[in-house]
């Protein structure tokens, strides 16, 4: 069920792994935070491949930028995983919550600016 929702959300609005799978695994499956985050990253591989192919076919993806961002992420994610392993689950949840809140505020701000431009 968590994977189905993540797949739809990935295709619809470009989110899934951290935003859907992590909370879904914690709430629905009772997984711990580190297991949910690690599993979310593993689940992202097939989703990303499928979504990338679909978006490339429609001309709505820049493969060069995606590969550069992916390489940078791959190079730095071990450091993030090591930091996460040293944090208490409560601190990890607060950091995750703060990240989601900042992301939501950013999307709201951009939507408002886009709406003002149509005036």
The distance from CA 90 to its chain's CA centroid, rounded to whole angstroms, is 20
Average pLDDT score over the chain: 87
Mean pLDDT across 85-107: 90
0.85 surpassed by pTM:
no
- Evaluate the CA torsion angle 33, 44, 61, 63 in order and state its sign: positive
pLDDT at 1: 83
Instruction: Return the higher-pLDDT residue of 62 and 115.
Output: 62
Alpha-carbon gap, residue 104 to 73, rounded angstroms? 21
Question: Tens of pLDDT along 96-106?
Answer: 889 889 988 99
How would you classify residue 62: left for phi > 0, otherwise alpha for psi between -120 and 50, otherwise beta?
beta
pLDDT surpasses 70 at 117: no
């Amino acid at each position: 069920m968590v994977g189905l929702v993540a797949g739809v959300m990935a295709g619809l609005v470009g989110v899934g792994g951290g935003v859907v799978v992590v909370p879904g695994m914690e709430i629905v499956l009772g997984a711990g935070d580190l297991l949910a985050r690690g599993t979310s990253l593993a689940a992202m591989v097939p989703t990303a491949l499928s979504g990338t192919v679909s978006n490339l076919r429609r001309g709505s993806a820049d493969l060069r930028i995606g590969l550069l961002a992916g390489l940078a992420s791959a190079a730095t994610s071990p450091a993030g995983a090591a930091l996460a392993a040293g944090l208490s689950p409560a601190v990890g949840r607060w950091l995750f919550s703060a990240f989601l809140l900042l992301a939501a505020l950013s999307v709201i701000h951009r939507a408002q600016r886009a709406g003002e431009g149509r005036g």
